[in-house]
Amino acid sequence: MLSFILILIAGAFFTGIIIRTKSIASGRKGPGILQPINDVVRLFKKGAVYSRTTSFIFQMAPTIYFSSVVMAMMLIPFGQSKGLISFNGDFVFFAYVLALGKFFSIISAMDTGSSFEGMGASRESLYSLLAEPAFFILMGSFALLTGYTSFQEMFAALHLGSYISYAIAILATFVLVMIAMIENSRMPIDDPKTHLELTMIHEVMILDNSGFDLGLILSAGYLKFALYGAIIVNLFIGMVPYPYAIPLFFIIQFLLAIIIGLIESFIARFRMSHNPQFIFALTSVSLLIFFGVLLVLGKFI
């Protein structure tokens, strides 16, 4: 329950901080950090335009997409406190429920019968499938390291002791940040601020969404950032008591947002055709983590 509320709060600020960082880095004043929330609230108040081609899929999809993210949030623990739902292998459910949301966002893009939105749908489905293995191997490494298979037990038992385990934690953070970037279609993979539909992934899929639906999709994106941020926080807080852990949660989320803002300011988007290689390379990084864990446990030979 605690993590759910914390993620909601963090999600409210996360995207604002990224935008603010980007504007400062490019020498602009930039909007306030609550601007994304204002945008969503404004969208919630607006009417909507639907395409003539669309069917009930298009009406349902944003709701299911948003619900899938909220559902995933419920699975995230916070230190010793479990998520709202917690069971052995809950990370499988986590990944699959997010995939369900993606399934619907893809078919809703196909529902418009547009020549552009199919493009985004095609890319989204390919990239998300390539990113999945990295997450599962990463979780497998943690399961191997700690001997548990649920989020909360794994994170609670994660003791950072030796140098190798620090290396593992840093690599894991890297993998998770990159998965978050892919899931949210952010910079090295996709440029949310690009002006050309041909080079978009996520933005081009939601060209026809408007009003309440668009608000849902945007807020789902904000929450997704905080969601992955929360997993990263969990890597570090372990059994730290609440009075320290809660400020630590916000500090790490804040740092993460700034890092993402900096990445977006100083790195150019990859060529579309290079994205798959890059994404799949994440799997090899997580395999590296896996072998690191084997080293720690002395399971080689």
Partner 1 sequence: MTMIPAFLAICFFVILTIPFVGVKYKGILVYLAIVVNAGLTGYLAIQALTGLPFETIFPGSAVTGAIALRLDALSAWFILIINFIFITGGFYGFFYMKAYQNQSKNLSLHGIAFLLLYSALISLTVIQNGMVFLIAWEIMALSAFVGVIFEHEKMATVKAGFNYLIQSHVSILFLMLGFMWAAYKTGSYDFQVLSNYTTGEKGAATVILFTTFFVGFAFKAGFVPFHTWLPYAHPAAPAHISGIMSGVMIKIGIFGILRMMLVIKPDFAIIGYIILVVSVISGLYGVMLAIVQHNLKRLLAYHSIENIGIIGMGIGLGSIGLGTGNLVLATLGFAAALLHVWNHALFKSLLFFTAGNVYQATHTLNIEQLGGLIKKMPQTAFLFLIAAIAISGLPPFNGFISEFILYSGLYHWLLDARLLSLVAIVFAILGLVMIGGLAMLCFTKAFGVVFLGNARQAFKHEVHEVSFQQLIPLYLIVFFIVAIGFFPGFFLKLLIEPVSLLAGNSGVAGIFEINTMQTMQQISWAAWGFIVLISVIFIVRKLVSRKRTIAVEPTWGCGYVKPTANMQYTASSFIRSYTKLFKPLLLSYKKEKNIQGIFPADGFFESHPYDKLEKWLIDTPIMEFKSFMSRFIFLQNGRLQFYILYGIIFIISIICIPIVYDMFIHLIGYFKQL
Q: Does 163 bind partner 1 (CB under 8 A)?
A: no
How far is residue 238's CA from residue 249's CA, in Å, rounded to a whole number? 11
Q: Does 152 bind partner 1 (CB under 8 A)?
A: no
Binding residue for partner 1, selected from 24, 99, 167, 240, defined by CB under 8 A: 99
**Amino acid identity at 30:** G
Binding residue for partner 1, selected from 207, 246, 262, 288, defined by CB under 8 A: 207
Q: Does 278 bind partner 1 (CB under 8 A)?
A: no
How far is residue 120's CA from residue 125's CA, in Å, rounded to a whole number? 9
Q: Does 3 bind partner 1 (CB under 8 A)?
A: no
Total residues in contact with partner 1, by rule CB under 8 A: 83
Least Cβ distance, residue 76 to partner 1 (angstroms): 13
Taking alpha carbons only, the member of 223, 225, 245 closest to residue 234 is 245
Q: 33 vs 279, which CB is nearer to partner 1? A: 279
Q: Does 298 bind partner 1 (CB under 8 A)?
A: no
Question: 72 and 42 in contact (C-beta within 8 Å)?
Answer: no
Taking alpha carbons only, the member of 228, 220, 98, 94 closest to residue 151 is 94
Instruction: Spell out, one character per residue from 222 to 261, where the chain touches partner 1: x when CB under 8 A holds, - when not.
Output: ----------------------------------------
Q: 250 vs 278, which CB is nearer to partner 1? A: 278
How far is residue 226's CA from residue 34's CA, in Å, rounded to a whole number? 15
Residue 117 DSSP SS3: helix
**Helices 211-237 & 2-25, crossing angle to 10 degrees?**
100
Q: Does 147 bind partner 1 (CB under 8 A)?
A: yes
Which stretch, 18-26, 158-166, 169-177, 206-214, contacts partner 1 (CB under 8 A)?
A: 206-214
Q: Which of residues 45-74 bind partner 1 (CB under 8 A)?
A: 45-57, 60, 63-64, 66-68, 70-71, 74
Q: 163 vs 300, which CB is nearer to partner 1? A: 300
Taking alpha carbons only, the member of 202, 182, 207, 183 closest to residue 192 is 202
Chain mean position to CA 133: 15
Residue the block writes with tokens 């990113």 = 131
